[in-house]
Amino acid sequence: MKKFLNVLGFELTNYFKTKGYIITTILISLILVVGLSLPSFFDLSGLIPGLGKSDSNIEQTQPEETSNNEEKDNYVLFDKSGLISDENFDLLKSYFPNANIDKVASETDAENLVKDGTANAGFVLESSVKYNYLVENTNFVDMSQMTFQSALSAINRKEYAEKNGINYLELESIVNLPIQSETTVLGKDGAGNFGYVYILVFVIYMMTILYGQLVAVSVTSEKSSRAIEVLVTSTSSTSLILGKVIAATLASIIQVGVMLSAGVITYSINRDSWNGMLDGVLKMPANILITFAFFGGIGYLFYCFIFGALGALVSKTEDISSSIGSITMVFVIVFFISMYGMMGNADSLIVKIASFVPFSSAMTMLIRVAMGTVTNIEIIISFVILVISTILVAWGAIKIYRLATLRYGNPIKLKNALKWLKKDSTKI
């Protein structure tokens, strides 16, 4: 134990003294502190709508903003059908209160205005139920077509009401009857918890991908410099591998913990200035944090031991990328399964199975706890499996590292290392 603690303390001290480690931690923490404190000292309502404004200020500035044509979207309309009379045109424009709509004489004119950027988009109305939408480049969020279709439906209802002697306003009051609804969440608020889960899953992903290679490099570094020959004579290989992996794990957890804490604490202090806008990301429920701490911490350690074992298989740091490629690919697949679970499929069969597999339970069980249905006994069973698997992986890493100290001159294939794990390493 004393040798292990000596290695652990030495490795941690090296991390804490590294300029890159210190600068990265301080810089990102400062960026979060300063960025989340800005609304307390400056009016950012122009950059972030609704931030730092009272209701009266919003009402006072709204007419000025909507009257400024430069801030409005511009649309063009070519009416082949003859449906859009002056009265119907006014009705159409009422559906685009913050935009300008101009009629043009031909479809070519509409296309040219869209191409040269004068208009954001254009509509060529073929008939009362058919139109062509003109746009230079499509984007992911474009509500223009949906708005135009709603306006066209209203115009059609108006035309139908006039032809059949029906009061149009009375018809609209029936068609657009206000519907009141309330949502009672009987299980998990998956939509509300999505922000928390996404941030935490992404933290696990980035820590494993970025720091996993760091663990492998730490294990390989002495072998590449032949310092391993001296180290194995002064301490045991078990103490070396455990000290290196756990030190790298603790250093990365402390670094990420300091940065996240800086952001969460700063936001809690300036929450009123943000009007609670970031509650869905930074104000995390206790059960989600606890699950993240236990499953995320042990799951991360599980992968760190794997990276450490793979790092022990090679003798040069430049060979690490090829050694850890397979486990990196496995972890990327796990991340995609987790993303699938976050997109409304937290109770799907694949996510349930993955929540009991140690390679994926750190992410998928977190998703099930926050967004799905899971019992306490399932959580306990999954956690026990993860802990036992981590212990077994640590034991395997110790065996592989011990083997590697005897064969540090040549890289070892993973399949051979797995075969040798079945044997007593002292007999090799």
Q: How many helices (H) and strands (E) does the chain have?
A: 19, 4
Query: Is residue 183 a part of any domain in this protein?
Result: no
**55 belongs to a structural domain:** no
- The answer to whether the CB of 367 falls within 8 A of the CB of 342 is yes
DSSP state of 25: H
Are 230 and 361 in a shared domain?
yes
Same domain, 263 and 409: yes
pLDDT, one tens digit per residue, over 92-108 is 999 998 889 999 999 99
What's at 104, amino acid-wise? V
The reply to whether 213 and 339 lie within a common domain is yes
Rounded Cα distance between 238 and 246, Å, is 12
Q: What is the pLDDT of residue 386?
A: 95
- Give the tokens for residue 298: 């042990």
Does residue 57 form part of some domain?
no
Q: With contact defined as beta carbons under 8 Å apart, do 278 and 267 qualify? A: yes
| Residue at which a domain ends, from 136, 168, 200 | 168
* 162 and 208 together in one domain: no
Does a structural domain hold residue 224?
Answer: yes
Q: Where are the alpha helices (DSSP H) in 134-189?
A: 144-163, 168-175
Q: Do residue 109 and residue 234 come from a single domain? A: no
The per-residue pLDDT string of the chain (428 residues; one tens digit each, 9 = 90 and over) reads 777 787 788 778 888 888 888 998 999 999 989 888 888 777 666 666 556 544 444 444 444 444 444 467 899 999 988 888 888 899 899 999 888 999 999 999 999 999 998 898 999 999 989 999 999 887 767 788 899 999 999 999 888 888 888 888 888 887 777 777 776 666 666 666 777 788 889 889 988 888 888 888 877 776 655 555 445 555 677 787 788 888 888 888 898 889 888 888 888 888 777 777 776 666 677 888 899 889 999 999 999 999 888 887 777 767 777 778 888 899 999 999 999 888 877 888 999 999 999 999 999 999 998 888 889 999 999 999 999 999 999 888 888 877 766 565 555 666 666 666 666 444 44
pLDDT recorded at residue 273: 77
Structural domain contains residue 84: yes
Same domain, residue pair 156 and 13: no
DSSP string, 104-125: -S-HHHHHHHHHTTSSSEEEEE
Element (H, E) at 126: strand 121-127
The dihedral formed by the CA atoms of 312, 316, 319 and 323, expressed in degrees to the nearest 10: 0
Residue 414 lies in a domain: yes
Containing domain of residue 97, as a range?
Answer: 73-168
106 and 221 belong to one structural domain:
no
60 in a structural domain: no
> Is residue 64 assigned to a domain?
no
Instruction: Specify the pLDDT at position 397.
Output: 84
Residues 158 and 247 in one domain: no
CB-CB contact of 125 with 83 (8 Å): yes
229 & 334 share domain = yes
pLDDT of residue 426: 46
Q: Give bridge partners of residue 135 from the DSSP assignment.
A: 121
Q: What is the CATH number of the domain that holds 103?
A: 3.40.190.10
Beta-bridge partners for 399: none
Same domain assignment for residues 154 and 201: no
Listed residues 168, 201, 218: the one ending a domain: 168
DSSP string of 359-416?
Answer: TTHHHHHHHHHHHS---HHHHHHHHHHHHHHHHHHHHHHHHHHHHHHHSTTS---HHH
* Domain tally, the chain: 2
All residues at 6 or more sequence positions from 194 whose CB lies less than 8 Å from its CB, including other chains: 280, 342, 371
**Joined tokens for residue 124:** 């060529």
Shared-domain flag, residues 388 and 306: yes
What's residue 216's pLDDT? 83
Burial tier of 204 (Cβ tally within 10 Å: 0-12, 13-18, 19+): buried
pLDDT in tens, 49-68: 556 544 444 444 444 444 44
What is residue 346's predicted lDDT score, i.e. its pLDDT?
84
Instruction: Say whether both 194 and 156 belong to one domain.
Output: no
Which one of 137, 168, 199 terminates a domain? 168
